[in-house]
Amino acid sequence: MDLTHRPRRLRRTDAIRRLCRETRLSPDALIYPIFVDETLSGVRPIPSLLGQNHYGLDSVCRAAEACLGQGVTHAILFGLPAAKDELGSSAWAEDGVIQRALRTLKERFPELYLITDVCMCEYTSHGHCGVLRDREVDNDRTLNYLARIAVSHAAAGADMVAPSDMMDGHVAALRAALDQAGLQSTAIMAYSAKYASAFYGPFRDAAGSAPAFGDRRGYQMDPHNAREALRECALDAAEGADILMVKPALSYLDVIRTCADRFEAPLCAYSVSGEYAMIKSAAAAGLLDEYRAMCETALSVFRAGADMLITYFAKELAEAIRRGDIG
Ligand code: PBG
């Protein structure tokens, strides 16, 4: 047999590998979560999220500086309010924790693109993502409050609002309220396919947002379902979402791929607290190489079709991209 003209694989040298990468990453596609605690002064490590911090309003600029210093120019803000009540009224207060953080950050760092998580679970005394009627979340009444929260964030300087509540009709409600308030240029990133996941555990610890009773399966998605994610995305897109999201990321790479193929809107994936904690704790136990695991998991999300990624590793990933280890 003449083997002279048989097909050959490229020799996998470093130069060829970089040339032929099918997935390209950029720090521009990374979004870093920042936790702001109204009761805190200074910076305090978050026990459930090794390497992450709570920032007081007096020190939130340090979080921004750390991001920008690594070339991460997009952040998403989560708030821990001083007071909670049945309606979560501190969520839309003019001088609420997020509203104040936004004003401070926008003034000092106009180049930092600020997204806010729009939800009620950090602000309600019962820890559910909306207002209750008979221990059930009242979807339609919740929409008014979510709209109020979004408008107050946008008025305080948010570039984009990200409703993570999973109520029906939330994007339409936010879009109408923002437009009516003259905030047409505020974008909406919808947590469209948000699953009822075990992987939010460390976040709920960090944000003090675990439900006081019951769970979120009444409004978050069933992990058995992928087609349902398409329906959720279609509704949010039709209601005017600028960006769609799948969350968590790693256990839902199939959903990311399908949504990326199916929808024209940009697609965000959220690599959630439990995904971060798995890598951090396995690495701390000496079981895997943290840097490589971080790079490989982030690559898998972009390879599956995500256009952007919210991740607690944003700063370290930006560094890995700069070094050429990925991207
Ligand atoms: C608020 C919200 C949650 C997360 C983001 N926004 C928690 C939840 O739905 O219980 C989770 C993020 C993470 O785990 O990193 N609803």
Q: 204 in ligand 1 pocket by Cβ < 6 Å? A: yes
Helices (H), the chain: 14-19, 60-69, 97-108, 139-155, 170-180, 201-207, 227-238, 253-262, 273-284, 290-303, 314-323
Q: What is the pTM of this model?
A: 0.96
What ligand 1 atom has the least distance to the C-alpha of 117?
Answer: 6
Q: Is the pLDDT of residue 55 over 90?
A: yes
Active site residues: 194, 247
203 C-beta closer than 6 A to ligand 1: yes
Longest dimension (CA), the chain: 80
Decide: residue 256, CB within 10 A, 0-12 exposed, 13-18 middle, 19+ buried: buried
Work out the pLDDT band at 1, boundaries 50, 70, 90: low
Q: Which atom of ligand 1 is nearest to the CA of 276?
A: 15
CA distance to 40, 146, 157, 257, 272, per residue, from 153 (Å)? 21, 11, 6, 31, 23
Q: In this predicted structure, what is the pLDDT of residue 187?
A: 98
Which domains, ranges and CATH numbers included, belong to the chain?
Answer: 24-323 (3.20.20.70)
Q: What share of the chain is helix, strand, coil (3-state, %, to 5)?
A: 40, 20, 40
Please choose from 34, 164, 275 the residue to mutate so as to test ligand 1's pocket, defined by most ligand atoms within 8 A of CB: 164
Question: Does ligand 1 lie within 6 Å of residue 164's CB atom?
Answer: yes
Q: What is the pLDDT of residues 279-326, one digit of tens each?
A: 999 999 999 999 999 999 999 999 999 999 999 999 999 999 999 999
Pocket test for ligand 1, best of 32, 48, 209 (most atoms within 8 A of CB): 209
CB 105 within 8 A of CB 140: no
| CA atoms of 52 and 282, how far apart (whole Å) | 16
- Pairing relationship of beta strands 243-247 and 160-163 according to DSSP bridges: unpaired
Residue 1 Cα, ligand 1 centroid: separation in angstroms? 61
User: Which residues pair with residue 136 across a beta bridge?
Assistant: 133
Average pLDDT, the chain: 95
